A and B are shown apart, each in its own frame.
Chain A
Amino acid sequence: MGNEDNPGVAVRGQALSPERRRFLGRLSIALSAIAAAIVGIPVVGFIIGPLIQSEEPVWRQVGAVSNFQVGQTVKVSFEDPSPMVWAGVTSLTAAWLRRLDAERFVAFTINCAHLGCPVRWLPKAGLFMCPCHGGVYYADGTVAAGPPPHSLFKYPVRVRDGQVEIMASAVPIY
């Protein structure tokens, strides 16, 4: 029951025409969607922020070169690349560091290439072994047995001013 000359226009005291009802219904849905988007975009953006936030790898000192003997593999601990003040001990991570010769080092991640469990070094056996599903690696990180699909991941290592430095980076995801 709208204006007879212009059926789309409402007249005070009269019911809305079907066309105007449809228009107002659609307008309400569209405005609601806009309002939801205005609130939702920053909310979702904040939640998925870690996916788009860049975290640069950082070199971490793990000890003087003289602390490591040629041919030996030892565990070294260091801070992850983006430690937060409230992270406490969870900001720590580790690597298996092997001194190859006077100048060269290799650092393996502690995470098994199978499912990320912490591998252990058995010095007398010369093997890395995983406690979860029994993955085994040789001293050079290559797969010796079990389910790991590939060798242990490696961190970049360098020697600066007599200090061994490891590039702390992301948890390796297969």
Chain B
Amino acid sequence: MVGFIRKILSDAVDAFEERTGLIKFLGGIARHPVPPDTGWWYVFGSAVLVCFIIQVATGIALATRYVASSGSAYQVLNYITYKAVLGNLLRGMHFFGASAMILLVGIHMIQVFLMGCYKYPREFNWITGVMLLFLTVAMGFSGQLLRWDQTAVWATVLAAEMIGRTPLIGKYLARFLLGGKTLGGATLSRFLAFHVFFLPAAIFTVVGIHLYLVVHDGISAPPVRGEKVNPKTYRAGYEKLLEEKGVPFWPDVAWRDVVAALVVVVTIVSLAHFVGPPALNNPPNPSLLANDPRPDWYMLWYFAVLALLPRGLESVFMVLAPLAAFVFLLLVPVVWNKGERHPARRPWAVAMVITVVVTIIAFWIEGSRSPWSPDFDAKPLPATLVRSNLAPVINGAQLFYDKGCEFCHTVDGQGGARGPNLTDVAARLTLNDIKIRILNGGGNMPSFAGLLSREDLNDLVSFLESRVRQPTQISGGTSVPVATASERIARAANDPAPHFSK
């Protein structure tokens, strides 16, 4: 009986193969010869592909419940997250899958760059890889907006404003993004179409070309010091290497990709289970203003770059920098397509990677701190930090909060970080200096000349004059007592207020 079933199955497979040739075709691809000793550095490309497959699978599952209606999507997201069976896990997998995909695309790109794998004849594979990098980031951003909470709504406005800075066609691009002149019913459907149709179709197409080129040009051999790429002789040398030492991709090399795939899957599912998806913000009501929109972690560094740019460069940078980065990356294999491949012989390539990675990490840290953003969550300073029973100081501390100073200045660890820390401002600035700064403003600080009465100004200065970290100040090597609070208040009140216009 078993033999009979086996024969039927075997005949069926033979008939299928005779008509399609697929088994031979796919088997040939799976077992195509690759250079020996490729090792673990080569698993990142397939790891990215695994992430993409996870995104497609979890995305399709989420799409079975998602409703692309601006008015309902938020409720649907809540339902998926808190009520649907496995909904929370699926959202988490989709989020961490996206995060892993972006991270692994970056690592894969660094590996290919450092090993010189982009050189002849694999220039087009690099170029398709660059396209996939930008498509992946676009997928990430459009996915963040599908969360459709208040942060998503304001992130959409931000994106429209940024794209709106493009010369001549900016307004049209912004309208194209929003689906009209205002954010509303058409906006979310648009992002869904981008996220589940346009961008994935583009990714499928480019991934197809990318994989075809991997098979067509072969996996590059690990770089060897002193072994230079010469387009005239490379193909013959590569063919000879495969002939003499080549090993079949499946299973000699593929097993490492499978192990890496399992690690990626287990990591993503574990993070989804133990950490969970990003929490939903308030409902997507654009008339609610208590929001501080910021991108997901992978765009946080760029958010910081835009925040820290010198004024005047911003519009140019916003439009030109991504374009310049794209063009530069496309040109890498055009300009440097031959010569040394080993990183030990390409110190400038290594320095470039280190510089880019360190810069991105530094901006990322700044982005996560966002010191340029006012801290609207700051509370009035408690009596324990005001440390005074004097009415002007107490009133000054309240004014410090009421006038918005505390949103930008820290005192004893409380308040924003946009402006200088004022914990010991009295040790750094004279009474007159403090008044000048308050009245005149400057840079990122508004002028308060028309916003404070003389009494309020004196009380505010009294409070700031009481801000000293140490009980004594060191002057010329001699310890001198700090003026008492009451002495400072008397000085603040008697000192004629400088008159400055806005």
Interface residues of A (CB under 8 A from B): 48, 50-51, 53, 55, 75, 77-78, 80-94, 110-111, 115-120, 122, 124-127, 129-134, 136, 138, 144-147, 169-171, 173-174
Contacts and interface: CB of A to CB of B under 8 A. Distances in A.
B179 A145 contact: no
B176 A51 contact: yes
A154 to B, nearest CB: 17
Contact of A90 (B171, B184, B291, B292): B184
26 contacts: A51-B172, A81-B182, A84-B184, A86-B72, A87-B184, A90-B284, A91-B70, A91-B185, A92-B285, A115-B162, A115-B306, A116-B157, A117-B293, A122-B404, A125-B403, A125-B404, A125-B451, A131-B291, A131-B374, A132-B158, A134-B408, A136-B445, A136-B446, A145-B446, A171-B182, A174-B165
Interface string B135-177: 0000000000000000001100110111011000011101110
Contacts of A55: 180-182
A129 B405 CA distance: 11
A86 B286 contact: no
Contacts of A81: 181-182
A75 B289 contact: yes
A48 B307 CA distance: 32
Contacts of A53: 180
Contacts of A90: 70-71, 153, 183-185, 187-188, 284-286
B446 A144 contact: yes
Contacts of B445: 136, 145
Contacts of A48: 176
A145 B444 contact: yes
Contacts of B446: 127, 136, 138, 144-145
B441 interface: yes
B134 to A, nearest CB: 20
A36 to B, nearest CB: 16
A90 to B, nearest CB: 4
A145 B441 contact: yes
A87 B289 contact: no
Contact of A88 (B72, B160, B171): B72
Given A92-B286, A94-B289, A118 B402 contact: no
Nearest to A91: B184
Interface in B325-382: 372-374, 376
Given A125-B404, A134-B444, A173 B174 contact: yes
B31 interface: no
Nearest to B307: A133
Nearest to B402: A124
A75 B69 CA distance: 27
Contact of A80 (B72, B182, B376, B402): B182
A88 B175 contact: no
Contacts of A84: 70, 184-186
B412 interface: no
Contacts of B165: 174
B60 to A, nearest CB: 23
Given A89-B71, A118-B154, A138-B450, 14 more contacts: A51-B175, A75-B287, A75-B289, A82-B180, A84-B70, A89-B283, A89-B284, A115-B162, A118-B291, A122-B404, A127-B451, A133-B373, A134-B372, A147-B314
Contact of A131 (B160, B185, B373): B373
A83 B109 CA distance: 45
Closest 10 CB pairs of A and B: A88-B71, A84-B185, A144-B446, A170-B181, A87-B185, A173-B164, A94-B287, A116-B161, A124-B402, A77-B287
Nearest to B290: A120
Nearest to A146: B444
Contacts of A173: 160-161, 164, 170-171, 174
Contacts of B407: 129
Nearest to A84: B185
A169 B446 CA distance: 30
A171 to B, nearest CB: 5
A150 B182 CA distance: 21
Contacts of B285: 89-90, 92
A116 B160 contact: yes
B402 A120 contact: no
A94 B179 CA distance: 19
A103 B388 CA distance: 47
A53 B181 CA distance: 10
Contacts of A50: 175-176, 178-181, 186
Contact of B69 (A88, A118, A129): A88
Interface string B241-257: 00000000000000000
Contact of A116 (B158, B402, B418): B158
B313 to A, nearest CB: 11
Contacts of B372: 133-134
A120 B376 contact: yes
B232 interface: no
Contacts of A169: 181
B310 to A, nearest CB: 10
A144 B441 contact: yes
